[in-house]
Chains A and B, each alone.
Chain A
Amino acid sequence: MSSRPRGRRQDHPLWFLLPALAVLVIFFFVPTIFNFVYAFTDWSSFKSGIGFVGFDNFVSLFTSGTLVNALRVTLVYAVLVAVFQNVFGIALALLLEKDTRLNRAARVAFFVPVIMSALAVGYIFQALLKPEGALNEILGFVTGTEVSIAWLGDTTWTIVVVAIVHSWKWMGLSMLIYLAGLKTISADVLEAGRLDGASWWQTFRHIRMPLLAPAITFNVATALLGSMNGFDIVQATTEGGPGGATELLNIFIFRTFGQGLFAQATTMSLVLFLMVTILAFPVIRFLRKREDVL
């Protein structure tokens, strides 16, 4: 610090930060604080006054089974998305690793869904997966029998189908990050492995996977925590159905808010916020630990 010329500090007085700070406070801090404050009130569309009610909202939410069910569904969904998105992403990255012209074109193709509107993706898949939709027609054509599987109508398996749709949309991003990770691995290390007679699988398992740790940290954390905030794709494909089997917390929040129960909706979003936070720290810690080998 002392080596820095004094005048430099005065060129950029601290109060220059004020505009940015104001934006940060108004658009990030205050809404977050409100999220905490309103959860303890009876704010609704039905009356003008807002009164504090203590932990009333939390008690009624946790005694009704709906919130717990939505939390469970959200967690299952997030784990499924994290698994599928990373498996698809790493498979694509390995497949398209070489910089050929064809691979470059294919990478672009797989990245296109990432920049598509999630709602549009959802509605397209909803049409494809209908009992009389294109997927069943294709299956019917191949097998020669009439297929009418309700892909989005099963109370057990639909959540897997929707998680795959979500992963399909985002796998291009995971692929890109894994590709970048693969590129940073020194060719010398791989060559040394090959000279020692390591097979493709051994190279992958013992050299490339460990060296990909930072990319895995990023991909798993963003997929897991991002999909806990999932809404659009599920809303477009199933609206939380069938029978509440895919009712993510955000869908529940959306419905509750729309019914004018603003305080309850805020309470739920606070619960979601806490759940993401509680999950984020151990997950990221665990994944960072894997990077210690580097």
Chain B
Amino acid sequence: MKKTLIGFAAVAAAAALVLTGCSDPTTGGGGSAPADWPAQDAKLDGVELTIWAAQNSNKVPESVIKGFEKLTGAKVDVETIPDPYEQGVQTKVATGDKPDLAFWQPTGSQLTALNAATNLQSLDGAPWLDATSEDLRDITGFLDDTRYAALITTPAVEGVYYNKKVFADAGVTDLPTDWDSFIELGRELKAGGVTPFYEMAADRWSTQWWIHVQLADAAADGLWDRVNANEEKFTDPTILSTIETYKGLIDEGLFNEDIKTATFEDQGDALLAGDAAMVVQVNSFFGQLQAKASAEELDEKIGFFPIAPSGNIGTFIPDQSNALVAFKTGDATKEAAARQLLSYWLGDGYPDFVEAQNTVSLQDGVETPDTVPSALLAVSDSLGSAVGSMQVHAIANPDLYIFLADMIQGTKTPLEVAEATQEHFAELAKAQGAEAF
């Protein structure tokens, strides 16, 4: 009798857990009307806020937090989520764990990944928007026409970092003005015994930049809208041909010999030492160079120009350290305090922040420190005309970079890269409930 009772109890308990457990813990939220924006200096004694940050962004808010705590009496904690940051945050949020604010890539695909409509506060009508430079105000941070992310620094741009000395030694005086002249320059350098391009297939992630920059014009022409609607595929000529071009350049010998085993660190060393002339990379690459050389040396040695088939157009790709999102936590006081912190960050706290980070200002009224390296200024200058990368416009972010690295290792052909990417993209799009998939 007792045995059957226990058996019954166990089955009942298990069944109850299965039934109650079978709903997403992140359900809830609701109402998305833009809320009021408290004054920057409203008192917040006893309020504690948590900011999630990655290993490379957890020092970013220091000056802001200090100022904000002093001004309002709030307490702000930065919690570092280990790398891979995006995966860690997504997993935590999926299980119902949320901070008040988090660093987050402000792109459509990444906001979708956080289920923005349910989990994030709308930042429409934020007080700092008027002060933000017009070029940059609406560049990113939206999903379905709602603003969810606050841009704090200039988004990264994919473009060409080059070694000025290598160019000078090879007698190059004019920078390439379009894709053809860029490749032509590569061939000339190669003929002169210089390694024109350097790629790092062991660390994989930068392989996709070569595809993105080739697609800049197509992207401006609505390529990603068509991909999102499943009207155009990665296997169609527009994208496939860029993969084939990339493969062709590698086969032609225009890249470093150790392309298969080279890492991010090797790439930085090679460009600094002049072992290679050019690298297609983003801002974090320059961050890597800054860790290895002084500001003067970098100004002297390293330059930047954007590139696209039709001219010097950059491809921008904001990353996690460029922006913050505010979560709907269900606690009205904390939600308002989180908005207040953002107003302060991009309001009275912004000059200090730009100074402390030694970075380019997003606001016309706040001056960029003159110690910012020239290459970074060139990067931010290119933003005005830049086009969004795949991550910005596509609804999902497939593992294109992994498949491209596979191609470099020799286990995939360009067509197989396109097929695998399309398949992965469709899978992600379907999971999001995209209509066409």
Q: Is A3 an interface residue (CB 8 A)?
A: no
**B residues 87-124 in Cβ contact with A at 8 Å:** 87-88, 90-91, 93-94, 112-115, 118
A50 within 8 A of B: yes
Chain A residues within an 8 Å CB radius of B23:
49-50
A155 & B431 in contact (Cβ 8 Å cutoff): no
Closest to B84 in A: A258
CB pair B3–A244 under 8 Å, yes or no, is: no
Q: Which of A23-31, A94-102, A203-211, A282-290 lies at the interface with chain B?
A: A23-31
* Chain B residues with CB under 8 A of A281: none
Query: For residue A60, which residues in chain B have a CB less than 8 angstroms away from its CB?
Result: 427
Q: Which of A21, A130, A259 contacts B10 (CB 8 A)?
A: A21
From B14-22, B337-345, B362-370, give the one contacting chain A.
Answer: B14-22
Query: In whole Å, how far is A86's beta carbon from the nearest beta carbon of chain B?
Result: 30
Q: Which 5 pairs between the two chains have the least Cβ-Cβ distance?
A: A258-B87, A243-B409, A243-B411, A44-B431, A46-B432
Pick the interface stretch among A10-18, A76-84, A212-220, A226-234. A10-18
Nearest B residue (CB) for A14 = B2
Output the least CB separation between A106 and chain B (Å).
35
A-B contact pairs, 8 of them (CB 8 A): A14-B6, A15-B2, A37-B22, A46-B115, A48-B26, A150-B260, A155-B410, A245-B411
Residues of A within 8 A of B427 (CB): 60, 64, 261, 264
CA distance A139 to B261 in the complex (A): 19
Q: Are B13 and A25 in contact (CB under 8 A)?
A: yes
Residues of B within 8 A of A242 (CB): 201-202, 260, 405-406, 409, 411
Q: Give complex CA distance A261, B94 in Å.
A: 11
A50–B87 CA distance with the chains assembled, in angstroms: 20
Q: B60-93 interface mask toward A, CB cutoff 8 Å, 1 = contact, 0 = none?
A: 0000000000000000000000001011101101
**Across the interface, which residues of B come within 8 angstroms of A258, CB to CB?**
84, 86-88, 90-91
Residues of A within 8 A of B84 (CB): 258
Does A58 interact with chain B (Cβ within 8 Å)?
A: no
* In the bound complex, CA of A83 to CA of B406 (Å): 28
Interface residues of B (CB under 8 A from A): 2-3, 6, 9-10, 13-14, 17-18, 21-24, 26-28, 84, 86-88, 90-91, 93-94, 112-115, 118, 201-202, 204, 258, 260-261, 399, 402, 405-406, 408-412, 420, 423, 427-428, 431-433
Contacts of B406 in A (CB 8 A): 242-244
Using CB atoms, name the residue of chain B closest to A150.
B261
* A260-B13 CB under 8 A given contacts A30-B21, A46-B113, A48-B26: no
Do A243 and B410 contact each other (CB < 8 Å), given the known contacts A21-B10, A45-B115?
yes
Cβ of A242 to closest chain B Cβ, rounded Å: 4
Contact of A66 among B21, B26, B420, B431 (CB under 8 A): B420
Cβ of B13 and Cβ of A22 under 8 Å apart? yes
Known: A243-B410, A263-B431. 10 other contacts (CB 8 A): A15-B2, A17-B6, A18-B6, A25-B10, A41-B22, A42-B431, A45-B115, A48-B27, A150-B261, A155-B410
Alpha-carbon gap, A66 to B21, bound state (A) = 30
Least distance between A27 CB and chain B CB atoms (Å): 11
> Does A21 contact B94, Cβ atoms closer than 8 Å?
no
Contacts of A47 in B (CB 8 A): 24, 115, 432-433
Q: Does A168 contact B (CB under 8 A)?
A: no
Tell me, yes or no, whether A55 is within 8 Å of chain B by CB. no
CB distance from A38 to the nearest CB of B (A): 8
Which B-chain residue is minimally distant from A32 (CB atoms)?
B14
A262 within 8 A of B: yes
Closest residue of A by beta carbon distance from B2: A14
Residues of A within 8 A of B14 (CB): 25, 29-30, 33
Is A34 part of the binding interface, using a Cβ–Cβ cutoff of 8 Å? Answer: yes
The distance in angstroms between the C-alpha atoms of A244 and B93, with both chains bound, is 29
Residue of B nearest to A30 (CB): B17
If the complex has contacts A30-B21, A33-B18, are A21 and B6 also in contact, measured as CB distance less than 8 A?
yes
Q: How far is the CA of A33 from the CA of B15 in the complex (A)?
A: 10
**A-chain residues with CB within 8 Å of residue B405 when the two chains form the complex:** 241-243
The reply to whether A26 and B17 form a contact with Cβ atoms under 8 Å apart is: yes
A45→B261 contact, CB < 8 A: no
Query: Given the complex, which residues of A lie within 8 Å of B17, measured CB to CB?
Result: 25-26, 30
